[in-house]
């Protein structure tokens, strides 16, 4: 029998008139990184809070490493580590002191706590900054320290709620590396994210949540295949060239044209690099000047559209959801028109 790190069955949670989770079912086998992907208000944080025993489901059950969150919350807490969007570390202490303090709170002796803190520092590549006050850390370093604090107790399952929100691309990459290293070393990870590329980079399984329910579940490759591959998009210097550009790009596939914004795009297969090159050649031959030419991955909205037939948040947009601000796929290279 496969060991389950987490099993949620028929889980509902209501906040006033908002049904944050609606009979959600989810089973996460041990030994993998799973991403819960969804827009603002989808219910991701609510699920993490229930799994972390910070709130109780109205109905349904959640088991973590075999322990029921309602009946055995202490056992559940001993099995998990939790890192959220806001740093839980003390800025007026060094990174090392922070981790030692957490280890002491776990009941380790002074010597054990020192040793455990150093292990975690090495695990997360924080050696160079460990002696500095945490308030002097960059956003990415602070997030890694926060992750470290959640690892001190050697959790079976690490719950990460939007771990890279607000980080710059470099810090984001560093945190991704840290998460990958942890996963390779055998920690199961459940992370929530609004970024498709984050799910793609880290997770072997992506569970898409919307309106408190699982609407799709599969490997990143499966979901991408269902959502389409992305497009080569040209932003024209002169919007009036749109028809000419469309004719030039037609051999690559049926183009979509936005004559007002002067954008022409064609769906691509594979990584799209061949199509990008062919598009550049075709546009040059047609003497169309472009301000920008690039590969554009499907946005979160487009993936939802492909998977559900609805836009994100439809039919009733959740509070806080701002159309057009979804991060979607990151640009495949610099200079992509968004
Ligand atoms: P985000 O990506 O913005 O963090 P999310 O997918 O994590 O979103 P949740 O935070 O789980 O979504 O929220 C799900 C729904 O429940 C939202 O409509 C939210 O406003 C509502 N909600 C969550 N917590 C509370 C609360 N404590 N009181 C009232 N409503 C809440």
Measured at the alpha carbon of residue 266, what is the angle toward residues 265 and 272, in degrees to the nearest 5? 115
Which one-letter DSSP state was computed for residue 318? P
Alpha carbon of 52 to ligand 1 centroid (Å): 15
In short, whether 17's Cβ falls inside 6 Å of ligand 1 is no
Which one-letter DSSP state was computed for residue 215? E
Alpha carbon of 291 to ligand 1 centroid (Å): 40
b/e 271-309 (16+ beta carbons within 10 angstroms → b):
ebeebbebbeebbeeeebebeebbbbbbbbbbbbbbbee
Rounded to whole angstroms, the Cα distance separating 166 from 323 reads 18
Q: Please state the atom number of ligand 1 nearest to the C-alpha of residue 209.
A: 6
Alpha carbon of 203 to ligand 1 centroid (Å): 23
- The reported pTM is 0.75
In short, whether 140's Cβ falls inside 6 Å of ligand 1 is no
In short, whether 95's Cβ falls inside 6 Å of ligand 1 is no
Rounded to whole angstroms, the Cα distance separating 280 from 50 reads 51
Residue 180 tokens read as 């990958």
In short, whether 318's Cβ falls inside 6 Å of ligand 1 is yes
In short, whether 255's Cβ falls inside 6 Å of ligand 1 is no
Ligand 1 pocket test: pick from 36, 44, 213 the residue with the most ligand atoms within 8 Å of its Cβ: 44
Beta strands in the chain (DSSP E): 4-15, 18-29, 33-37, 59-64, 67-68, 80-83, 157-161, 188-193, 205-210, 213-218, 231-236, 256-258, 263-267, 290-296
In short, whether 43's Cβ falls inside 6 Å of ligand 1 is yes
Alpha carbon of 317 to ligand 1 centroid (Å): 13
* Parallel, antiparallel or unpaired: strands 213-218 and 231-236: unpaired
Query: For ligand 1, atom 16, which residue shows the shortest CA distance?
Result: 20
Alpha carbon of 43 to ligand 1 centroid (Å): 6
Residue 66's SS3 state is coil
Which pLDDT does position 189 carry in this prediction? 94
Residue 154's contacts (CB-CB under 8 Å, 6 or more residues apart) are none
Handedness of CA 324, 322, 85, 217 (dihedral sign): negative
Ligand 1 pocket test: pick from 8, 42, 58 the residue with the most ligand atoms within 8 Å of its Cβ: 42
Longest dimension (CA), the chain: 74
In short, whether 18's Cβ falls inside 6 Å of ligand 1 is yes
Q: Please state the atom number of ligand 1 nearest to the C-alpha of residue 321.
A: 3
In short, whether 20's Cβ falls inside 6 Å of ligand 1 is yes
H/E stretch holding 245: helix 242-249
Residue 170 tokens read as 């470099």
Residue 128: CB atoms within 10 A of its CB come to 9
The crossing angle, in degrees rounded to 10, of helices 139-151 and 110-123 is 130
Ligand 1 pocket test: pick from 11, 21, 45 the residue with the most ligand atoms within 8 Å of its Cβ: 45
In short, whether 313's Cβ falls inside 6 Å of ligand 1 is no
pLDDT tens, per residue, the chain with 338 residues: 557 899 999 999 999 999 999 999 999 988 899 999 988 889 999 999 999 999 999 999 999 999 999 999 999 999 999 987 666 788 899 999 999 999 998 889 999 999 999 999 998 889 999 999 999 998 888 888 999 999 898 899 999 999 888 888 888 888 898 899 889 888 899 999 988 888 888 999 999 999 999 998 988 878 777 777 688 999 999 999 999 999 999 999 899 899 888 999 998 877 788 999 999 999 999 999 999 999 887 766 667 677 766 544 433 333 333 333 333 333 333 222 22
Which pLDDT does position 139 carry in this prediction? 84
Which pLDDT does position 44 carry in this prediction? 93
């Amino acid at each position: 029998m496969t060991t389950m790190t987490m099993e949620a069955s028929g889980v509902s949670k209501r906040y006033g008139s908002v049904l944050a989770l609606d009979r959600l079912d989810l089973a996460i086998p041990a030994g993998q990184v799973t991403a819960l992907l969804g827009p603002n208000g989808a219910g991701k944080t609510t699920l993490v809070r229930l799994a972390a025993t910070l709130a109780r489901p109205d109905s349904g059950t959640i088991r973590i490493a075999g322990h029921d969150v309602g009946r055995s919350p202490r056992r559940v807490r001993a099995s998990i580590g939790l890192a959220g969007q806001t740093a839980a570390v003390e800025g007026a202490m060094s990174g090392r002191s922070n981790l030692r303090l957490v280890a002491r709170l776990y009941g380790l002796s002074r010597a054990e706590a020192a040793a455990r803190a150093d292990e975690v520092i090495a695990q997360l590549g924080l050696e160079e900054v460990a002696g500095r006050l945490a308030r002097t850390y960059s956003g990415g370093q602070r997030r890694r320290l926060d992750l470290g604090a959640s690892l001190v107790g050697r959790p079976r399952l690490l719950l990460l709620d939007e771990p890279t929100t607000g980080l710059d691309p470099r810090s984001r990459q560093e945190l991704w590396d840290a998460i990958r290293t942890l996963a390779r070393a055998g920690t199961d990870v459940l992370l929530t994210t609004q970024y498709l590329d984050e799910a793609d980079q880290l997770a072997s399984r992506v569970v898409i949540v919307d309106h408190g329910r699982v609407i799709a579940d599969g490997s990143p490759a499966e979901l991408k295949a269902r959502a389409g591959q992305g497009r080569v998009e040209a932003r024209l210097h002169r919007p009036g060239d749109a028809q000419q550009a469309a004719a030039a790009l037609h051999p690559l596939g049926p183009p979509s044209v936005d004559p007002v914004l002067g954008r022409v795009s064609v769906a691509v297969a594979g990584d799209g690099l061949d199509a990008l090159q062919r598009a550049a050649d075709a546009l040059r031959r047609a003497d169309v000047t472009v301000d920008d030419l690039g590969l554009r991955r499907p946005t979160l909205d487009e993936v939802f559209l492909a998977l559900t037939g609805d836009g994100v948040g439809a039919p009733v947009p959740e509070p806080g959801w701002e159309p057009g601000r979804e991060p979607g796929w990151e640009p495949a290279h610099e200079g992509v028109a968004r």
